[in-house]
Amino acid sequence: MVLVTAALMTACTAQDGGGEAEGSCAITALYGGRTYTQVADVDFTVGQALGPAEFPPCDDTPGHDDDAARSEPVTAHAVDGVNPRMAIAVRYASDQVLLRAVPSAGSLPPEVKAR
């Protein structure tokens, strides 16, 4: 098992003067019919492989034909001590494993918040 710290990762970000993100793609993961969003600064231990997941394509560049973008297949992994319905780990690059969680009422699930 590997102990890793999740890093805040954003694929692309643009802010307007009002603070709202315009054309912003966070690295989300799709697994088991759920959308998992980024979580930063949480220590976690990667568990067993759960199965196929994907990073959906980012379509946020005005005037650019992003329709040809495709999902990127990845493998979802369990996070020790957390139900996979709440959070998963996914490898983003050969040296980065990211924690992704399903928001619960606009907040992190309690199992993730406790870490």
Report pLDDT digits (tens) over 81-93.
999 999 999 988 7
Low-confidence winner among 3-12, 36-45, 86-95 (lowest mean pLDDT): 3-12
Mean pLDDT of 67-93: 88
pLDDT of residue 14: 31
Question: Is residue 42 within 8 Å of residue 6, measured between CB atoms?
Answer: yes
74 Cβ neighbours under 8 A, 6+ residues apart: 29, 52, 53, 54, 55, 90, 91, 92
pLDDT of residue 48: 95
pLDDT in tens, 11-30: 333 333 333 334 456 678 99
Q: Is pLDDT above 80 for 99? A: yes
In whole numbers, what is the pLDDT of the chain averaged over residues? Answer: 74
Question: Is residue 74 within 8 Å of residue 93, measured between CB atoms?
Answer: no
pLDDT of residue 32: 95
pTM equals 0.69
